[in-house]
Amino acid sequence: MDLMTSLQEITKLSHLYYERQWMYATAGNLSVRDRSSWEQFWITASGKHKGELKETDFVSVSVADGTLVSAKEGLKPSAETSIHQVLYSQMPDVGSCLHVHTLDSNLLEFGVEKTEGYRDIPIPPIEMIKAFGIWDEKPSLTMPVFYNHTHVPTIANEIKRYFVTEGIPKVPFLLIEGHGPTVWGKSIAEANKHLEAVHFLLQVMARRV
């Protein structure tokens, strides 16, 4: 898939997520790795309304250090670019990362302390887990939940610390408490599948509280 086709696909998802009330106003950010230059990725520019996003509303960022590679005049990277950069740099096979703000992900409270940075939270072994490629019967799984620091690079550093000390999560997503989930996949389609499954999973967890 060429870059323009990828950006068009991400743009369509942005509009869909807005309609689903997952990306109200300018919330959330979506990115895709540039397959012609695997060492950079394209992410939604800061301040763009996700229901009106266009294929030109993206900027290119280095996977290695998160520096801006290319952008139209007046565009700057999303505030959460540092989180995407950590995910791409820690998982070389990941081709897309999607971050949204769903209602249930904000209603759930796990009490992660600022001093902790993160905590592994058990998730129910529901059938939808198979969407993550996990086929074990009633698997005992957890999801990493991170404290919502105001300074986003601090969250990114905590995510990197988790990956280095705990390893890559068995599930293809993480949650920032009081903020929203971030998912990843080898392709945009796979990342979208994971996001839909995560949305359902968090709905189930919110209703069990």
15 labelled binding-site residue: no
pLDDT grade, residue 186 (50/70/90)?
A: very high
Q: At what angle do helices 81-90 and 152-166 cross, to 10 degrees?
A: 20
What six digits make up the tokens of 2? 């060429």
**Is 209's pLDDT higher than 80?**
no
Report the greatest alpha carbon distance in the chain.
Answer: 52
**Closest Cα to residue 20, out of 205, 206, 200?**
200
Q: Radius of gyration over alpha carbons of the chain, in Å?
A: 16
Q: Per residue in 46-73, pLDDT tens?
A: 999 999 999 999 999 999 999 999 899 8
pLDDT at position 165 is 96
| CA-CA-CA-CA torsion sign (40, 159, 182, 28) | negative
pLDDT at position 25 is 84
99 labelled binding-site residue: yes
pLDDT at position 36 is 87
Architecture of domain 3-208: 3-Layer(aba) Sandwich (3.40)
**Is 172's pLDDT higher than 90?**
yes
**Cα–Cα distance between 69 and 162 in angstroms, integer?**
27
pLDDT at position 208 is 87
pLDDT at position 26 is 85
Helix (H) or strand (E) holding 175: strand 173-176
**Is 177's pLDDT higher than 90?**
yes
Report the chain's mean pLDDT, rounded to a whole number.
Answer: 95
User: Domain map of the chain by residue range?
Assistant: 3-208
pLDDT grade, residue 13 (50/70/90)?
A: very high
Q: Per residue in 129-164, pLDDT tens?
A: 999 999 999 999 999 999 999 999 999 999 999 999
